[in-house]
């Protein structure tokens, strides 16, 4: 009886650890735009690393290949690699995603798109994710908001809500400055609890005239940990590289 109790307890702890081992909001993530360009392919590498605290050194790398099949639909395949603090880096998941552009909301100039993803996790239950993508461009300003709902396919798991947002402004040619934020919004039953949030400055630039009528886009920044994110880290460094070309 005692042995059964301890086995049950340890199994529950292991399950909790497996569920919470996912990277913090923003690590290896990006804020998606709501516009799709037909005929454009891209390769992308997104890297994030937690700095300070118990999770210092934990990082995530996402490699993505995508193509705009029309002015409405974009599809991509991704590989996610993670490393927990003090551990070896390993592949955590592979996934496919798609974006369907709906167009603008009236005369507001706000573009809207729907995002869907199926994620095959190598060490946990698979998951599905949906996002509402909103984007407003005006002159040199680009503002984006992604509202996120993710559901693990493990029986009994609830839908997890989150967000990703950014705003940046052209300041000199192709050089842009702005800010980005990533965070958790809880569940439909427990909306907007104390949770993990990261926010901070970003810088972007791009280099045009590359092979395939291509361009290389670069984004870097540092996000400061807020609320419960400060329990395990002080912030995160992020670096995104994206090569777009016509195929």
Q: What is the 3-state secondary structure (H, E, C) of the chain?
A: CHHHHHHHHHHHHHHHHHHHCCCCCCCCCCCCCCCCCCCEEEEEEEEEEEECCCCCCCEEEEEEEEEECCCCEEEEEEEEEEECCCCCCEEEEEEEEEEEEEEECCCCCEEEEEEEEEEEECCCCCEEEEEEEEEEEECCEEEEEEEEEEEECCCCCCCEEEEEEEEEEEEECCEEEEEEEEEEEECCCCECCCCEEEEEEEEEEEEEEECCCEEEEEEEEEEEEEEHHHHCCCEEEEEEEEEEEEC
- From first to last of the 247 residues of the chain, give the pLDDT tens digit: 434 433 433 333 333 333 333 479 999 999 999 999 999 999 999 999 999 999 999 999 999 999 999 999 999 999 999 998 878 899 999 999 999 999 999 888 999 999 999 999 999 999 999 999 999 999 999 999 999 999 999 999 999 999 999 999 999 999 999 999 999 999 999 998 899 999 999 999 999 988 878 999 999 999 999 999 999 999 999 999 999 998 6
Q: Structural domain tally of the chain?
A: 1
**What does the pLDDT read at residue 212?**
79
- Whether the model clears a pTM of 0.85, i.e. scores above it, the answer is yes
**What does the pLDDT read at residue 12?**
39
Domain of residue 119: give its range. 2-246
Q: What is the CA radius of gyration of the chain?
A: 19
The CATH number assigned to the domain holding 196 equals 2.40.160.40
């Amino acid at each position: 009886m005692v042995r059964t109790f301890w086995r049950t307890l340890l199994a529950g702890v292991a399950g909790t650890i497996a569920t919470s081992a996912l990277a913090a909001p923003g690590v290896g993530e990006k804020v998606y735009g709501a516009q799709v360009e037909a005929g454009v392919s891209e390769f992308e590498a997104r890297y994030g690393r937690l700095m300070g605290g118990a999770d210092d050194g934990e990082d995530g790398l996402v490699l993505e290949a995508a193509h705009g099949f029309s002015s409405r639909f974009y599809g991509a395949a991704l590989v996610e690699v993670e490393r927990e603090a003090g551990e070896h880096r390993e592949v955590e998941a592979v996934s496919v995603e798609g974006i369907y552009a709906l167009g603008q909301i009236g005369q507001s100039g706000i573009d809207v798109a729907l995002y869907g993803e199926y994620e095959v996790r190598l060490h946990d239950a698979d998951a599905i994710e949906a996002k509402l993508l909103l984007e407003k461009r005006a002159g040199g300003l680009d503002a984006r908001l992604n509202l996120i709902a993710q559901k693990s396919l493990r029986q009994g798991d609830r839908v997890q809500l989150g967000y990703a947002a950014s705003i940046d402004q052209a300041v000199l040619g192709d050089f842009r400055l702005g800010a980005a934020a990533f965070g958790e919004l809880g569940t439909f039953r427990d909306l907007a609890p104390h949770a993990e949030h990261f926010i901070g400055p970003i810088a972007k630039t791009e280099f045009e005239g590359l092979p395939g009528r291509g361009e290389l886009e670069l984004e870097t920044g540092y996000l400061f940990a807020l609320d419960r994110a400060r329990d395990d880290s002080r912030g995160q460094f992020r670096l995104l590289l994206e090569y777009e070309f016509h195929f």
